[in-house]
Amino acid sequence: MQSQLPFYPEQASNFAPSVDSLMTFLILVSIFFSLAITAAIVIFFFKFHRKSKDEIGVPIHGDMRLESTWIVVPGLLALAMFAWGAVVYVDFRHAPQDTLDIYVIGKQWMWKIQQPNGRREINELHVPVGRDVKLVLASEDVIHDFFVPAFRVKMDVVPGHYNTMWFRPTKAGHYQFFCSQYCGTNHAVMGGWVTAMEPSDYAAWLSGSTGENEDPVTAGEKLFAEKACSTCHLGNGTGRAPSLNGVYGGTVRLADGSNVTADEGYIRESILFSNAKIVAGYQPLMPSFQGQLTEEQIMSLTAYIKSLQSQPVPATGAGVVVPGKK
């Protein structure tokens, strides 16, 4: 549905029309109630104004039918608003499969962005039209927020957490983005521009990269060896730590019997706070990497682990607890 609002920013993503439709619905409901109440006040104001100095009003103490009406009707309208809003939000919070993942790091007061092939940008973000794009957001210091009004999307960028947001650009163009969570002195100028390009232009732009940038997967692979992750996380499952093949996107069974979905946030937590969630059948042997990796290094490692998409390997390694032997 095309929005008819006179005051709205350009619609340039899949979310723009749905958010604008919600806005239109809520504005119509609001106008209806505002007009009804205002009309009642104005009419009563003139019709029942005091005619003589000592006149009193007609005592009316209430009316149960009216009370129930104005509890039930606004209640139902509120439920409709809630439900419609929930549908849009749940869609926004659950990225589809096979997204184009772009890493975004906020720090006082700039945005560092890395494309899948490693091309880096500062305060600029290039995205292809028609493709589902997922931003993986991290902060090096305080809380920021990545806000693109033309896409009607924003998400807080919280230190110590990974947040993700997704959108599908629908219209090529140049759109401003802002930091929308107050982050200190230069908060107001911590913004930049999103360039939505036709897929072929985007591909050309990506390949125009000077080549000095390593892509995050390669950088992550090097780090994986450098930090000695590879000595335990053997690809064939025989190491002291679980194999990471195919772990991303799947469900991991933990030592306490619960299950978690292995998303970016889980991978990040497992690197930094290695004992927070122990995989079932393994010992808590891994050292914590808290404070030893930059946000960019964590993102590279995450990208590398996500790239290990061969079949999961059964755990048979040295870290496995053999039942009965303690």
Query: Which residues from 74-93 bind another protein, rule CB under 8 A?
Result: 74-75, 78-79, 81-82, 84-90, 92-93
The first and second tokens of residue 193, run together, are 């521009």
Least gap, CB of 204 to another protein (angstroms): 29
56 binds another protein (CB under 8 A): yes
4 lines the binding site for another protein (CB under 8 A): no
- Our finding on whether 41 is near another protein (CB under 8 A) is yes
Q: Which of 178, 193, 205, 289 binds another protein (CB under 8 A)?
A: 178
Which of 1, 28, 66, 322: binder of another protein (CB under 8 A)? Answer: 66
Nearer to another protein, 71 or 285 (CB): 71
Q: How many CA atoms lie within 13 A of 144 on its CB side?
A: 28
| Residue ranges in 201-220 that form contacts with another protein under rule CB under 8 A | none
Task: Based on the shown chain and the rule CB under 8 A, indicate whether residue 70 belongs to the binding site for another protein.
Answer: yes
User: For residues 56 and 97, what is the distance between their CA atoms, to the nearest angstrom?
Assistant: 69
The CA distance from 164 to 139, in Å, is: 12
Q: Report the site for another protein in 107-136 (rule: CB under 8 A).
A: 108
Region from 21-29, 119-127, 214-222, 241-249 binding another protein, contact rule CB under 8 A: 21-29
Using an 8 Å Cβ cutoff, are 179 and 144 in contact? Answer: yes
3-state secondary structure of 223: helix
By CB under 8 A, residue 285 contacts another protein: no
Binding segment toward another protein, per CB under 8 A, in 27-35, 126-134, 295-303, 314-322: 27-35
Segment (H or E) for 173: strand 173-179
Q: Is the Cβ–Cβ distance between 288 and 273 less than 8 Å?
A: yes
Output 152 or 306, the one with its CB closest to another protein. Answer: 152
Residues 240-269 that bind another protein (CB under 8 A): none
Among 114, 129, 135, 145, binds another protein (CB under 8 A): 145
Q: Quick count: other Cβ atoms within 10 Å of Cβ 321? A: 13
Angle formed at CA 169 by CA 168 and CA 175, multiple of 5 degrees:
140
Residue 153: closest CA among 16, 45, 274: 16
Cα dihedral sign for 93, 97, 99, 101? positive
